[in-house]
Chain A
């Protein structure tokens, strides 16, 4: 595997309270990495910075040699973000939201692929309903369809399994493994250490604003032990 992504010395504070003080790490091609830590340690902030939704105070990052956080928006073409919230328009239908997302990425709409994904994620027949009537789990599945339709190299997933039922979590697990075999990189957060350990090739403990520990082939017990020592 080759280094695809590096982040260096990223810092961010809110209301003068530092959340991230000096975060540096790298990701390999096709790697699945768990970012874990206690509540409020800055996991979501870090993912949102990397997605281009927030701006870091200091630090930089590069993806395949291309510098991120620049005025040139093209770097966001290779990144995709799935957050706690659906980041879609509730008044639009599922299909309209997907079309908007794809157009914003400058890609062509593929109806066949969309229909395949709807069937895969058990949302077939619901594509013309406004998503404000969707449950949290359905929104999460739709978020995954958004990622499936887009072309990208690094996915940033914030608690992707939180609203999913058992079937949905299994689907997600299979999906992430498939992405990895396609040489796509996933950085995700989870509070479910069992699920996280099962998915991740590597785990990064975020604590007190820095990456405090790195675990290769993590086990649930080692992740819990790390978290226990943080409390």
Chain B
């Protein structure tokens, strides 16, 4: 627990110091939202069909960008070796980094999500509790899977290419589930109508959290 907390706080403090990941994520998300707003000329009521998918596509790209920045800091001065050579469980490194990335992603969404309402007429306040639930579970699942892949690609010289190449196919089921759940929630459907997608998100979260915790020891070393 101490190692988890040390690594979690280290990542947050590093981000507060550099603002490299957060600024890149927020600017990227805002730019993509504006591009969507200018690119599509569709009536607001029809646009609602697309916006959940557009929203999650934006955040999946944003997450990969953020992971590249966050793990890029580990490459500088080979800082990651400090974690690997320390007497801490590799699972704690995985969980600490995943938890910190979850915070970054959620924070980037808090800043950029209102733009979906303003520019793409997304009725975000229709089901606020459901939206928060979907955001939190999806972000945690993205953080778990993303940290696992980023940890794997960190030791590779081609890591910056490997991360998106591996991440996007593995994130696709998450993209489908989160888009479907968001669409249903924003249309006012009761949770019983979209709990399948929610369960899929939870399954992804639990699966990759456990896999990451147990295999990070093997994938983080060269």
Q: How many of chain B's residues touch chain A, expressed as a range?
A: 20 to 34
B190 in the interface (beta carbon within 8 A): no
Residue of A nearest to B6 (CB): A103
Please, which residues of chain A bring their CB within 8 A of the CB of B43?
A: none
Q: What CA separation (Å) do A47 and B17 show in the bound complex?
A: 32
Q: Is B193 an interface residue (CB 8 A)?
A: no
- Known A71-B217, A103-B6; judge A91-B82 contact (CB<8 A): no
Query: A41-76: contact bitstring with B at CB < 8 Å (1 yes, 0 no)?
Result: 000000010011111000000000000000101111
Q: Give which listed residue, A75, A83, A85, A91, contacts B14 with CB less than 8 A.
A: A91
Q: Does B73 contact A (CB under 8 A)?
A: yes
Contacts of A83 in B (CB 8 A): 78, 81
Q: List 27 A-B contacts (CB under 8 A).
A: A51-B81, A51-B85, A52-B84, A52-B85, A53-B81, A53-B84, A55-B221, A71-B217, A73-B87, A74-B87, A76-B87, A87-B78, A87-B79, A87-B80, A87-B85, A89-B76, A89-B79, A89-B82, A90-B77, A91-B17, A92-B13, A92-B17, A100-B6, A100-B10, A104-B3, A104-B7, A106-B3
- What are the nearest 3 A-B pairs in CB distance? A104-B86, A85-B78, A77-B87
Chain A residues with Cβ below 8 Å from B218 are: 55
- Report if A101-B14 is in contact (Cβ < 8 Å); known contacts: A54-B222, A55-B221, A88-B77: no
Give the contacts of A86-140 with B (CB-CB under 8 A): 86-92, 96, 100-101, 103-106, 130-131, 139
User: Of the candidates A55, A76, A130, which one forms a contact with B85 in the assembled complex, judged by CB atoms under 8 Å apart?
Assistant: A76
The interface bits of chain B over 78-101 (1 if a CB of A lies within 8 angstroms of the residue's CB, else 0) are 111111111111100000000000
Decide: A106 and B2 in contact? CB cutoff 8 A: yes
Interface of B is mostly: helix
Q: Is the CB of A106 within 8 A of B87?
A: yes
Q: Are B73 and A53 in contact (CB under 8 A)?
A: no
Cα separation A103 to B18 with both chains bound (whole Å): 22
CB of B73 within 8 A of CB of A91, answer: yes
Is A76 a contact of B86 with CB atoms below 8 Å?
yes
Residue of A nearest to B79 (CB): A89
Q: Are A101 and B87 in contact (CB under 8 A)?
A: no
Give, as a whole number of angstroms, the nearest-CB distance from B103 to chain A: 18
**Could you tell me which residues of chain B, from 1 to 46, have a CB within 8 Å of some CB in chain A?**
2-3, 6-7, 10, 13-14, 17-18
Q: Which residues of A contact B90 (CB under 8 A)?
A: 73
How many Å lie between the Cα of A108 and that of B89 in the bound state? 19
Separation of A53 and B81 alpha carbons in the complex (Å): 6
Nearest residue in A to B86 (C-beta to C-beta)? A104
A91-B6 contact, Cβ under 8 Å, with A53-B84, A53-B85, A76-B86? no
Chain B residues with CB under 8 Å of A51's CB are 81, 84-85
Complex-state Cα separation, A101 to B77, whole angstroms: 14
How many Å lie between the Cα of A85 and that of B76 in the bound state? 9
With A54-B221, A88-B82, A105-B87 already in contact, 4 other A-B pairs whose C-beta atoms are closer than 8 Å: A73-B88, A83-B78, A90-B77, A105-B86
A172 within 8 A of B: no
Decide: A104 near B82, CB < 8 A? Known: A85-B77, A88-B77: yes
Complex Cα gap A90–B90 (Å): 22
Which residue from chain A places its CB closest to the CB of B5 in the assembled complex? A103
CA distance A106 to B3 in the complex (A): 8
Q: Which chain B residues lie closer than 8 Å to A74 at the CB level?
A: 87
Q: 1/0 per position for B188-222, CB-CB distance to A under 8 A?
A: 00000000000000000000000000000110011
Specify which of A54, A75, A88, A130 is in contact with B79 (CB 8 Å cutoff): A88
